[in-house]
Amino acid sequence: MVLKAELHCHMEGAASPGLVERKATKYGADVSAFLQGGKFVWHDFTSFLRAYDQASMLFRTDEDYADLAEDYLLSLSRQGAIYSEVFISTDHAISAGLSPRAYIEGLAEGMRRAKGATGLECRMIATGLRHKGPEAVLAAAQYIADNPHPLVTGFGMAGDERMHSPKDFAAAFDLARNAGLGITVHAGELSGWESVADALDALRPARIGHGVRAIENPDLVKRLADDQIMLECCPGSNISLSVYPDFPAHPFAELARAGVPVTLNSDDPPFFHTDLAREYEIAATYFGYDEEMLNAVTETAIKGAFVDENTRTKLL
């Protein structure tokens, strides 16, 4: 089996329907608005985010989050993963009535359990939500800068890219960078190449979440290649959200040929009917990647991981 590494998966978006149903039973909650017949229900990005938020409200204690991390990471290890970075969101924890400290401790416990059982190495990327606005993202950055945790090694921003401008978030990203965190930002998924260029100019990330729509501008593709800005590509997610009509239209292979470092990721696996193993299969089937090329994608991800050099060396 090809060994795999994942840099882009949202913890709340990785909750399996079965686990969400178990938590709903625990809390006596009705999930029928967003979960039917064992599948999450949504029809566009906005309703996806709503379903995602509703599912996350069923994780209310540190133990619920330990379960979530352990459940996801055990499944990831079964798919051949040796390294995983997950986006975490203190905003979601607070909305569910949980303190950021208990949230991160719960997740760290789940990661320790999964590592004990499988050896899978894992880190967290604290994330602000763009649609909540600059103040909320600054608060998320401030929390993690003031409360460092050894397993939280990055800071990022997810959410609705069509809202606000990257420069509105520069203070948050400066704070996170000065705290020593690796920087990534979602851009070039729902919006075009300008969104990627603006994010690079304003936020100076080492990696871009998605970033695939950079393909719309050859100068920008060259800039990504020259500066070796890594793209956390999520082809299955992109097709589910209709960013591209089908896999043959996806620019993953073209970006790679242009010298841009690209990686394969599942984003929100059960929402998009995917997982990391399927993303590697998609690359094999539609992008013509053989085993050697897939191994190189894993190596690229480990080189771009927000992890200490000792751990990186062991993984490589």
List residues with catalytic annotation.
189
CB atoms under 10 Å from CB of 42, counted, come to 18
Partner from Zn ion, ligand ADE, none contacting 237, C-beta within 5 to 8 A by type: ligand ADE
- Are 61 and 106 in contact by the 8 Å Cβ rule? The answer is yes
Q: How far apart are CA 66 and CA 138, in angstroms?
A: 26
**10 near ligand ADE, judged by CB under 6 A:** yes
Closer CB to ligand ADE, residue 10 or residue 23?
A: 10
Site string for ligand ADE, 223-252 (x = CB under 6 A): --------------x---------------
> Of 213, 184, 176, 179, whose CA–CA distance to 197 is shortest?
213
* Integer Cα distance of 51 and 152 in angstroms: 26
207 binds ligand ADE (CB under 6 A): no
Estimate the crossing angle of helix 62-78 against helix 100-118, to 10 degrees. Answer: 30
Cβ neighbors of 208 (< 8 A, separation 6 or more) are: 184, 185, 186, 187, 188, 196, 199, 200, 214, 224, 229, 230, 231, 232
Window 82-121: residues binding ligand ADE (CB under 6 A) = none
At its nearest, how many Å lie between ligand ADE and the CB of residue 158? 4
User: Residue 213 carries which DSSP code?
Assistant: G
Looking only at Cα atoms, what is the longest distance across the chain? 54
- Residue among 85, 267, 275, 279 that touches ligand ADE (CB under 6 A): 267
Half-sphere exposure of 217 toward its Cβ, with a 13 Å CA cutoff? 14
Which of 6, 268, 275, 279 forms a contact with ligand ADE (CB under 6 A)? 268
> Could you say which of 4, 13, 187, 230 contacts ligand ADE (CB under 6 A)?
13
Give 268 or 279: the residue with its C-beta nearer to ligand ADE.
268
CB of residue 235 to ligand ADE, shortest distance in Å: 12
Give the x-and-dash track for 266-285 against Zn ion (CB under 5 A).
Answer: -x------------------
Instruction: Identify whether the C-beta of residue 167 lies closer than 8 Å to the C-beta of residue 202.
Output: yes
Q: Of 66 and 187, which CB lies nearer to ligand ADE in the complex structure?
A: 187
Is 87 within 8 Å of 129 (Cβ atoms)? Answer: no
Q: Which of 106, 156, 159, 182 binds ligand ADE (CB under 6 A)?
A: 159
Task: Tell me how far, at minimum, the Cβ of 43 lies from ligand ADE, in Å.
Answer: 15
Q: End-to-end distance of the chain based on CA atoms, in angstroms?
A: 16
With CB under 6 A as the contact rule, the residue among 64, 70, 91, 189 that binds ligand ADE is: 189
Examine residue 158 and tell whether it contacts ligand ADE (CB under 6 A). yes
67 binds ligand ADE (CB under 6 A): no
Question: What residues between 282 and 301 interact with Zn ion by CB under 5 A?
Answer: none
- Residue with nearest beta carbon to ligand ADE: 158
Q: Applying CB under 5 A, does 85 fall inside the site for Zn ion?
A: no
Q: Which residues of 184-193 are buried (b: 16+ CB within 10 A; e: fewer)?
A: bbbbbbbbeb
Q: Given the complex with ligand ADE, which of 56 and 300 has the nearer CB atom?
A: 56
Q: How many CB atoms lie within 10 A of CB 310?
A: 8
Residues that bind ligand ADE in the complex, under the rule CB under 6 A: 10, 13, 158-159, 186, 189, 237, 267-268
Residues that bind Zn ion in the complex, under the rule CB under 5 A: 267
